[in-house]
Structure 1
Amino acid sequence: MNTPPSPPGAQRTDGSSVRIGALVPLTRPGWVEAGQHLLAGLELAVREVNDAGGIGGRPLELVVRDTAADPRRAAAAVDEFARLDVAAVAGEYHSVVARAAAARADALGLPFLCSSAVLDALTEQPTEWVARLAPAQSHGWQVYADFLLGAGHSRIAVATQPSVYWASGVRILREYLAPRGGTVVELDVHALGPAAVCDELVGHRATALLLLVGHPDPAVPIVRAVRRDRRLAGILIGAPAGQPEFPEWAALLGGDGAAIPFLRYLPDRFGPLGARVGTALRERLGQAPSFVAFEGYDTVLVLADVLRAHAADEAGAAEPWSRVAVEGTRGQIRFSRAPGIGVRQWTWAPTQVVDRDPAEPDRFRILHTG
C-alpha cells in the first residue's frame, strides 16, 4: 500500500492555479448525458470555491478530459494529469473506466476522488490514494434486491451483456436473493433478440426482468418488446444501474419508459445547501439535475477541503481522506474503510429506488429507501 506524502499541485507557493484533472464521458460510446451532468456539478462547485477565495487565495482550475467510456483513454489522461502537475483527479461515471483510472492514479501516487462509479473492486489492493463518493455496487444493489423482495418478486430474470460491471451485479443479486428464496436466471442479449427475451421470460415464469445492458441499445428495444407482449402484462421491468434517470430515456420510450425502478443516490428531502445547488444546477443544465450532478458538486467540495487542509498542515497530507468532514449536498461526507473495498469510501450516500410516474413521466416516485 502506498501512502501519499502530499497532493502534487498543492505544493506550489506561487500565485498559479490549483489544478484538478476531471475524467468525464462526453462522447459515445460513453453515457454522454451522465457526463454532462457530472461536469455541470464539477464546474458549478469550482466556480463557487473560487468565488469564496479559492485554495489559500489561489484559483481552482478544472482540466477536463473526455474518457468516452474507454479505460485506456482514461489511464492515458491520468498520465497527462501527472505531467500537468494536477493536485488531484476527480470524476468518472463508468465503473470499468474508473477502475483503470484508479489503478493508474495509485501507481503514480496521484490522489483520485471517484465521483460516480460503483464497482466494489475499484482497485486491486488497498490504497490511500483513492477515495469514492458513490455507494459500492454491493450496497446499492442489495438495497434494490430488498425492494424486489418487498414487492413480491422472487423469480428474477436479468438481461445481460459481457462486462465486469454487469457480471458483478448478477453475482451480488444471486448471492443476496438465494438465501431469501429468490432465483436469478441470466438471459444473454448477444444470443437473444428482444422477441426471444420475451419467450424466455414466459418460459421461466419470471415476475421481474432487470436490464443489465447498455443504453439506448439494447435496453430500449427490449423494453418496447416486453411492453408490447401481452403474455408479460404483469411483469416488472427494472434497471438498477439507472438508465431511466436521464431525459433521453423518456424521450425515446415515452410512457413505455415509466414504472421502471432504478437506483439513485439522493436524500428524500434536501437541506438548504442541496436545495440551493439543485436550483443552480437546473439553471445550468436546462433540466432537472440527476444524482450524478450532485456527485460532481460534492466531489469538488471534498477536494477543496482536502487541499485547504494540506495548505494549512502538510503533515496531515499523509492520509488526506481520513480527515475529511464536509457537509455536502446530500449529507455529511466522511470516509472510512468498508469491508472488502480497497479505497476510502463514503459509507453511504443516501440510496433510493425510484421510477418515473406513469401518469406524469417527468416526475419521479420514491418506492424504497435504504
Structure 2
Amino acid sequence: MTDSSSVRIGVLAPLSPPGWVEAGRHLLAGLELAVDEVNDAGGITGRPLELVVRDTAADPGKAAAAVDDLARLGVAALAGEYHSVVARAVAARADALGLPFLCSSAVFDTLTEQPTDRVARLAPAQSHGWRIYADFLLGAGHRRIAVVAEPSVYWATGTKILRDYLAPRGGTVIELAPDAVCDELAATRATALLLLAGYPEPAVSIVRAVRRDPRLAEVVIGAPAGQPEFPGWAARLGGEGAAIPFLRYLPARLGPLGVRVEAALRVRLAEAPSFVAFEGYDTIAVLAEVLRSAGSWADVAVEGTRGPIRFARMPGIGVWQWAWAPVQVVDRDPADPERFRVRTAASTD
C-alpha cells in the first residue's frame, strides 16, 4: 500500500527478459539500499522516500507507457534504466511531461533530441568510455579490430565511435556477421574481436565458438559494453569467459562510503555487487539531495560511492552529465574467473 505522505520516485529497470535481468536486479538493489538509508536518516524533510518500480523488459514502448503511469501516480522524479534505447524513450517522455529523470546506467550520448534541463545522467557517455576502450586496444598493440554487431542503433553508434577514433591512429574496424563469425574472423587477420551483441545470447555462443576454434587461439575477445561484469557470465562460461576486457565504472579503490555500501550490497544481493548496483545507490543519493534542497542539477554536490558527484553541460550531450564517473578496463582472471584484473583506468577528471 502506498503512503500518501511519502515522496515517490518512479523507477524504470529491466526486470524480465528480454531485458538484462541481472543488471536490473543490481540496479534495484542499489536504489533500495539507498532509500532505506535515507529513510533511516529522517527521509526527505521528515517524509519517507518510496520507490514505485516498473519493469521495462528492454522495451522502449513499455517504458514510455510506464512513465505516463508513474506521472499519473504523482511521482516527484524518475530514476534508473540500464538499456540505452529504453533510457532514450524514458528521457523523451519525461521531458515532455516535465518530470525530472536521473538516468542511472545507460550510456547513449543523445538521450534527448534537444537539450533539456529535466534530465541528468550518472553513467559516462558512450563516446567517452568507448574511446578509453579504444586507447586500451591501441596500447595493447591491436590495429586490426573486428566487431560482431547485432542490428541496433546502440551497437551501430558504438561501431562508429570506434572506427572514427581508431582510423586516424592507424586502426581498422572490420564488421563481421554474427552467423559466420569464426570463418570471417579467420580470414580478416584481426587480432581482436569485439562483442557488440546481446547477453546471454548471442554473446555467450560467440565466445564459445571463438574459444574452441584453433585458428583463433591468438585472437583477443573484448566486450566494451560490459557483458562479463555480472556473475552469470562466469557461471555460463567459466574459464572461457575470462581474459575478455570490458568497461566498468568503478574507481581503482573505493573510499569509506563505497566500502560500506559494497558490504551492504553484497549481503542484499548474496553476491558481489556490480558497478550498476553502485550507480543505483548514487542515483538516490543525488535525488535525495535535489528533493531536500529543491535545487537543480547544476546545484548538486554529493559524495557518491565512487567519488564526488557534480553535473555539467558537456559538448554534444543534451542532458546534465556527471563528467565523469571513473572508468576502468578490466577482465576476469584466467586463473580465477571470479576475480577481476584492472587493465587500465581513467580518473574522474
- Report matched runs for 1:145-184 at 5 Å: 145-184=134-173
Aligned-partner residue type, residue 244 of structure 1: P
Aligned-partner residue type, residue 349 of structure 1: A
CA contact (8 A) 1:23 1:90 kept: yes
Matched, 1:54 2:30: no
Match of 2:14 among 22, 25, 31: 25
Q: Secondary structure at the match of 2:130?
A: helix
Cα deviation code 1:243-272 (max 9, x no counterpart): 000111111111100000000000000000
Cα deviation code 1:119-173 (max 9, x no counterpart): 0010000000000000000000000000000000010000001101000100000
Match of 1:140 in 2: 129
Structure-1 separation of matches of 2:41 and 2:146: 51
Question: 5+ residue gaps in structure 1?
Answer: 1-13, 311-315
Aligned-CA RMSD value: 0.9
Match of 1:276 among 248, 260, 264: 260
Match of 1:211 in 2: 195
Matched, 1:109 2:85: no
Matched, 1:289 2:273: yes
Q: Secondary structure at the match of 1:287?
A: coil
Aligned-partner residue type, residue 332 of structure 2: R
Match of 1:36 among 11, 25, 39: 25
Q: Secondary structure at the match of 2:57?
A: coil
Question: 5+ residue gaps in structure 2?
Answer: none
Structure-2 separation of matches of 1:235 and 1:188: 17
CA contact (8 A) 1:115 1:133 kept: yes
Aligned-partner residue type, residue 205 of structure 1: R
Structure-1 separation of matches of 2:284 and 2:214: 48
Cα deviation code 1:40-71 (max 9, x no counterpart): 00000000000000000000000000000000
Match of 2:325 in 1: 349
Aligned-partner residue type, residue 345 of structure 1: Q
Report deviation, 1:282: 0.2
Report deviation, 1:187: 1.1
Match of 2:220 among 236, 241, 244: 236
Structure-2 separation of matches of 1:211 and 1:55: 43
Report deviation, 1:15: 7.3
Matched, 1:187 2:176: yes
Cα deviation code 1:159-209 (max 9, x no counterpart): 0011010001000000000000000011132xxx2xx21111111100000
Runs of 4+ residues over 4 Å off in structure 1: none
Report deviation, 1:216: 1.0
Q: Secondary structure at the match of 2:252?
A: coil
- Paired residues, what number? 344
- Report matched runs for 1:291-370 at 5 Å: 291-310=275-294, 316=295, 320-370=296-346
Aligned-partner residue type, residue 334 of structure 1: R
Q: Secondary structure at the match of 1:297?
A: helix
Structure-2 separation of matches of 1:197 and 1:161: 12
Moved more, 298-307 or 77-86: 77-86
CA contact (8 A) 1:15 1:58 kept: no
Structure-2 separation of matches of 1:217 and 1:94: 16
Q: Secondary structure at the match of 1:256?
A: helix
Q: Identity, % of aligned pairs?
A: 78
Match of 2:109 among 108, 120, 141: 120
Structure-2 separation of matches of 1:22 and 1:44: 14
Cα deviation code 1:189-247 (max 9, x no counterpart): 2xxx2xx2111111110000000001111111111111111111111000000000011
